[in-house]
A and B are shown apart, each in its own frame.
Chain A
Amino acid sequence: MSMLEINDLHARVEARPILNGLSLSVAAGEVHAIMGPNGSGKSTLAGVLAGRPGYEITGGQAHFEGADLLAMAPEERAQAGLFLGFQYPIEIPGVNNAYLLRAGLNAGRRVRGEPELDAADFLLRVREKMSLMRMDPSFLSRAVNEGFSGGEKKRNEILQMLVLEPKLAILDEIDSGLDIDALKIVADGVNAARGPDRAIVIVTHYQRLLNYVEPDRVHVLAGGRIVRSGGKELAEALEARGYDWVLEASDAA
């Protein structure tokens, strides 16, 4: 059975249908890329899976390790091992970055019946991941994302993923706004997270990231549905030819 199983999912935002019968399954150990035109519903899909408020689910199901994902509160999904890397990470003045990480980590550990990490063990773990992300330790004592540059925010998302060690990571445009070096660092972070027990879904517009993080499957999302799936060569074809040929082909189908 797949780790993530989405079946004929329909969702609306403010009475407007955005997801229109989307199906997708992702198994442990796999990396999937989702590509698609602006406004096609990629972030909506990520938000629906993570439990962002404001969506109305009008049909279909989504299961995470067999559990009915859509019935769970956002924090329950996170505690169960689902991680959303935000396209636009939120700035939260007054809330300390380290505090959030540790509180999130320990919330998950409590649910799993594991002992909470104390401050020292936590710091050890974060420091190691920070050096991987080439982040200065001073970021820990800053407010969550406050005043971070666009690229720093994205790196912070990946840092959180590395510390929280989710089973399923959905990374929404984690590569946008990154300079060439930062793209490499973020890709290294994602690759470090790859493993037989973990599934990763990458939403991206660019082949560039996929050169570093080789996907097992590539999907095209358009009009709120997956209209085409393939191997990594699909991403290369999209890069070369754009979306039109895929959309035409799917209309014809």
Chain B
Amino acid sequence: MSAEPVLSHYQAQYRALAPELPGRELAWLVSRRQGALARLLREGWPSNRHEAWKYAPLRLLTGREFHPVITPPPVAPQALAAAALPALTGPRLVFVNGRYDAGLSAPDAAEAGVSVQPLAEALAEAPERIAELLEADPGADAEAFGALNTAFMADGACIRVAAGVQARQPISLVFLTAPAPVRQMICPRVLLDLEAGAGAQVVVHHAGIGGTGERSHLVDLLVQGALAEGAELSLLRLQEEDDQALSLAQLRLRQGAASRCTAADYALGGRFARTELTAELAGVDAAATVTGMLLPQHRQHMELLTTMDHAAPATLSTQQVKAVADGHGRGVFNGLVRVRPDAQRIDARQNSANLLLSPSAEIDARPQLEIYADDVRCTHGATVGQLDESALFYLRARGLPLAAARSLLIYAFLAELLPSALPALGERVDARLRGELPVPEGLA
């Protein structure tokens, strides 16, 4: 398959770009990049024959040439203020088209024991620890888009919290994307390193900020989190990319004993948006709570694939996912629960509730179980329904216009997944449901 023209495009791009990539002086990193690229060239892209890519509009990803970003456009602080979620006053790193923007960032707001650094800086300062983090998770770039990220990761963030330290302020990573003259490829890499008993809240926010140029860029995000014993991480990702964008995210969490991870993924934007979330519950008593929200409208295609990998006894996973599909939108949720041999006393819960708002919309939600132990409590349920007509009539009979009544019911359906601590997130979801965001040309 290496004869694919698009693949050789990336080979050429890598050759041209390699001398500028961060960590170019680190032999281990260069060889890791080269290995990832070689794997991609050898194995090629996934196809719809792969179960995990069954529904994906892969031609949007693999049939086009994307260009790694060299120089992002300048972004005014007002544009950041308009796009960013208010009330996130903690340390903040801002990236424009994937490149770190020091002027817009505020890393120094970090507390003692909490380090928030752009990737290049962290590579220069603590290359050994980063090597360790990458080594410990070989699965991250085993497949095509992870490999693409490793080969081309140009920027990103490294967040480290020292043992026993609880970061009080949420740490935010804001990825702004503006259209560019060429079809861009943005490969941010984020490393979260929580030592024993450490605690942190991290908000990853992608926002398209409009402008002229090519809007169908590819974002290929890879987040790797390591939670040592007793660590607690809350990871929230809000994806509000341009509706033409292609947005891929891998969120990979490795959890030690008695660690707690709450991961929430809200997909609002993108032409094709896909999140793969993996929690490896590697230590006894580890727990993961996953929230997923997908709101495909118009021609958007959104996927959430989760893997709850119960590798140790007495681990707990809870997943709640909701999709609301309108227009020609399509939502896919694939939730895999894996219980390894000897991982006894497992509790795995998965629930997916979905709303189909139009006859042309589609939702595929399915749980998948791979259970190799016997003391396992595993519950799962998936429902696909429509808006309750009698509730809709009741609201209209009280004077609410049809559109307002509809968005109110949809919002009510989603409300339990919205964190009360971050009301701005609910407002974004609400605006999206009300169609208050401009519909890009060619999509309505």
Partner of A107 from B391, B400, B415 at Cβ < 8 Å: B400
The verdict on A13 contacting chain B, using a C-beta distance below 8 Å, is no
Smallest CB-CB separation from B403: which chain A residue? A75
Contact with B along A74-89 (1 / 0, CB 8 A): 1101110001101001
Residue among B389, B397, B402, B411 with max Cβ neighbours from chain A (10 Å): B397
Compute how far the CA of A79 lies from the CA of B404 in the bound complex, rounded to whole angstroms: 14
A residues 160-176 touching B (CB-CB < 8 Å):
160, 164
What 0/1 pattern do residues 382 to 396 of B give for CB contact below 8 A with A?
Answer: 000000111101111
A50 to B408 CA separation, bound complex (whole angstroms):
20
Are the C-beta atoms of A92 and B399 separated by less than 8 Å? Answer: no
Quick check: is B398 within 8 A (CB to CB) of the other chain?
yes
Separation of A50 and B396 alpha carbons in the complex (Å): 10
State the total of A-B contacts with C-beta under 8 angstroms.
77
Q: Does A94 contact B (CB under 8 A)?
A: yes
Chain B residues with CB under 8 A of A86 = 394, 397
How many A residues touch the partner, as a band? 20 to 34
Looking at the complex, which one of B391, B402, B408 makes contact with A73 (CB distance below 8 Å)?
B402
Which of under 10, 10 to 19, 20 to 34, or 35 or more describes the interface residues of B?
20 to 34
Among A50, A79, A94, chain B packs the most CB atoms within 10 A around the CB of A94
- CB contacts (< 8 Å) of B400 on chain A: these are 75, 100, 103-104, 107
Given known pairs A51-B396, A53-B393, A92-B391, the reply for A103 and B404 (CB within 8 Å) is yes
In the bound complex, residues from chain A placing their C-beta under 8 Å from that of B404 are 103, 107
A237 at the interface (CB under 8 A from B): no
Q: Is the CB of A107 within 8 A of B416?
A: no
Interface assignment of A230: CB less than 8 Å from any CB of chain B = no
B415 / chain A contacts, CB cutoff of 8 Å = 94
A95 interface hit (Cβ, 8 Å):
yes
Interface residue? A52 (CB, 8 A): yes
In the complex, what residues of A have CB within 8 A of residue B398's CB? Answer: 78, 100-101, 103-104, 160, 164
Residues of A within 8 A of B (CB): 50-53, 73-75, 77-79, 83-84, 86, 89-90, 92-95, 99-101, 103-105, 107-108, 143-144, 160, 164
Q: List 22 A-B contacts (CB under 8 A).
A: A73-B396, A74-B396, A75-B399, A75-B400, A83-B397, A90-B390, A90-B394, A93-B412, A94-B412, A94-B416, A95-B408, A95-B409, A100-B395, A100-B398, A101-B398, A104-B399, A107-B399, A107-B400, A107-B401, A108-B399, A160-B398, A164-B399
8 new A-B contacts at CB < 8 Å, known A75-B400, A90-B388, A105-B399? A51-B396, A53-B393, A78-B397, A92-B388, A100-B400, A101-B398, A104-B400, A107-B400
